Amino acid sequence: MRFRLTSLFGVLCLILCACPLEAQEQKRLITEKIDESKLATLGGNTTPAAARADFDRGAVPDDTRFEHLLLLLKRDPDTEARVKQQIDAMHDPASPQFHRWLTAEQFGARFGVHPQDSEAIQEWLKSHGFTVNQAYKNGLLLDIAGSAKQIRDTFHTEMHNLVLPNGDKHIANIRDPQVPAALAPAIEGMPLHDFFRRPRVTRMKPVSFNHDSGKWQPHFTLPFDGVDLFVVAPFDFATIYNLTPLWNQGFTGKGVTIATVEDTNLAHPSDWSTFRKIFGLDAFKQGNFRQIYPGCKNPGQNGDEIEAALDVEWASAAAPDANVELFACPDTQTTSGLDTAIVNLLETDPPDIISDSYGLCETVSGQAEVALENFEAELATIEGVTFFIAQGDTGADECAPVESTNYSTLGINSGDNTATAFAVDVGGTDFMAQYNQDANGVPISNYWNAKNNPTTLASARSYIPEIPWNDGCTSQLIYSDPLIGGFTKSFGPTGFCNSSVGQQFFLEDVAGSGGPSTCFTGTPAIPGVVGGTCRGNPKPLFQFGVPGMPNDGLRDQPDLSLFAGDGVWDSFYVECLSDTNQGGTACTASNDAVFLGGGGTSFASPSMAGIQALINQQFGRQGDANYVYYFLAAQQFREQGASRCDASQTTGKLPSASCVFHDVTAGDMDIPCGQNADGHFYDCHGADSTNIGELSTSNKKNGPAYPATAGYDLATGLGSVNATNLFYAWTLFLGRP
């Protein structure tokens, strides 16, 4: 008898006597008179930079206006439990609630805070001079406006200007907010800083190693003749991940809407159609693109435009007939435009799929922002929206982008939005072809043609063996490659990271990310370093019982991965961005300066969203697709002879053509680390005051964070996908013939 994870949901439902999941009235949490002298602290809501006196440039003027502050409310524990039961039932084919999605208004009526609690909080805010711009229909969110003085007088914290060592200017509260104790049970928190999520795109590496001449070159060229570098164009992607059979059968994303969420728009929306034309996607006639500003102003363009362009182009590259929509709102003082775009989108016009290619880490974003991001993904799931999030580009320390170094100093840190259990986290792989040629003599020509297709500019011949994406000197495959390093270790005085080549070309924290949730709630004892009262998000039900899954009780990331390389192993993505004001260039296919090139999980997330669109075209909205991914992966990994799906064989052999997931088993996404400004080392093995170490599960032992292994692993999750096999395996979960 075949074990079904969904059967477990049904058993739990019977045990808990909660299957009908009928509407129940929420409990009132505000039961006492408000006494402003009795305060409760909303812990975990001061960003690490605000704790540094040397960054502080003083309070902002009292009359500084904060036009949009998102205050997240808190429901009672019984309602919280009912939400989780509802989501499990919605993803259980045996349940009468299966795929019976709710609207934001229905969600608010059943699972929001008690209306009288919401009214009490709004009246309290108004009594302090705040304006309530909007009480969202979802029943858990208020958009309010007020001044710096009102924030100080009402929430008992000051808003200060900060200047970081790299010159970046920020604004943040300098201590955790406080509210009257009578209101605290119904208030989750409110983000009060502008350390916003950052795009996950990584520009192409500016140097490369010529494996034929044995010399380093100062810049990549971008030829399309398949000789020097192997650029991943849309039809290459379709060949490598086996989308082509689905396209040929008419599964191209027709009628499915993919929304990418941004804080910028495209100055030239025609970049989307130019990209499609150059790479042969204009043969698909039903795809379309538009830009929308949901309940907000047009944000215009900023430095994130490079992210917005690749998001919409690569969603379309995988699902060429889908409706691709860019939803964007501008950042305000302490509210990310991404949050505004997501909550307004879900409030008014939820799409089938969302792709979010921005992120940071739990200890920098803080408990209020993490809770807000978790709520966004939860609401999307209960509306039937599949939410994809780029896992990250800095290994197991996702705080690295704010550390002002090119190595980790804060230790292992989880992503903020990826720590939710309601989104699919997409990690990054790289191709193993160049490594196998260097170390094992397997010809690259096994996988790439020497010439490109004249119509699509594609040259990939088949699936290509994969490893975790990792550009750094701590990558075991890089430092051991006989043509690059030939070293036996990365750390210490004799390690590759401290050699001249390692220091000059590979001392960087650029790699696919992953790891357990580390500080979903709580407050670090040391700013930015996991500890104190930090607690990770508990492991969701769908992650249990999967071979390779860590027995850590925590939400582990990523869920799966796709190619994200930026050129270190001679392959990378291309995109079209013609806005020269934001670093763009002319979009033409030639052998000299052509497209922007790069990598990162920013490319992987919208590409996986496109693959899911092909599935949705046949099966409809799917909500949290992890319920299906993990069910299918558990089956595959449990099968006798599961090594047939090994995607990292040194012989160059490919996994079986019948595999749903390509199991990445070699390499790692470990990044270099060093001494923190406080003089200490955090999760950093083999380092001292003058030598770089490797990010490790302990300072005292060599435990790279993290290697790829058989089954699930923290480097690539379940591995990458064979899109056609995933499509046809979907019915195994649904129970259809």
Tens-digit pLDDT profile for residues 407-442: 999 999 999 999 999 999 999 999 999 999 989 999
Q: Do the strands 466-468 and 684-685 form a parallel or antiparallel pair, or are they unpaired?
A: unpaired
Q: Is residue 150 part of a domain?
A: yes
Give me the residues paired with residue 563 across strands: 429
The domain boundary, picked from 157, 179, 194, lies at: 194
Phi, psi of 723 (to 5 degrees): -60, -40
Beta strands, E only, 406-470: 424-431, 466-468
Q: Is residue 379 part of a domain?
A: yes
Q: Is residue 90 part of a domain?
A: no
Q: How far is C-alpha 444 from the chain's CA centre?
A: 31
Residue 115, CA distances (Å) to 11, 122, 318 in order: 33, 11, 43
* C-alpha closest to that of 629 among 499, 475, 517, 733: 733
Element of type H or E holding 482: none
Q: Is residue 635 part of a domain?
A: yes
CB burial of residue 439 (10 Å; 0-12, 13-18, 19+): middle
Q: How many domains is the chain built from?
A: 2
pLDDT at 597: 84
Those residues with Cβ within 8 angstroms of residue 530's Cβ, 6 or more apart along the chain or in another chain: 363, 411, 412, 413, 518, 519, 524
Are 180 and 205 members of one domain? no
Element of type H or E holding 546: none
pLDDT at 404: 81
Are 289 and 421 members of one domain? yes
Q: Find the DSSP H helices in 391-443.
A: 433-440
Are 173 and 207 members of one domain? no
Are 182 and 323 members of one domain? no
The domain boundary, picked from 170, 194, 218, lies at: 194
Are 443 and 546 members of one domain? yes
Range of the domain at 158: 34-75+112-194
Are 177 and 231 members of one domain? no
Q: Is residue 51 part of a domain?
A: yes
Q: Is residue 499 part of a domain?
A: no
pTM listed for this prediction: 0.94
- Per 3-state DSSP, what percentage of the chain is helix, strand, and coil (rounded to 5)? 30, 20, 50
Q: Is residue 542 part of a domain?
A: yes
Are 465 and 411 members of one domain? yes
Angle at 636 between CA 630 and CA 638, to 5 degrees: 100
Would you call 108 helix, strand, or coil by DSSP? Answer: helix
pLDDT at 164: 92
Parts of the chain with a pLDDT under 50: 1-21, 205-211, 213-227, 591-593, 737
Those residues with Cβ within 8 angstroms of residue 22's Cβ, 6 or more apart along the chain or in another chain: none
Would you call 184 helix, strand, or coil by DSSP? Answer: helix
Are 182 and 211 members of one domain? no
Are 185 and 331 members of one domain? no
Q: Please give the Cα distance from 59 to 149 (Å, whole number).
A: 10
Q: Please give the Cα distance from 632 to 729 (Å, whole number).
A: 7
pLDDT at 208: 42
Are 348 and 221 members of one domain? yes
The domain boundary, picked from 194, 228, 249, lies at: 194
pLDDT at 36: 96
Q: Is residue 89 part of a domain?
A: no
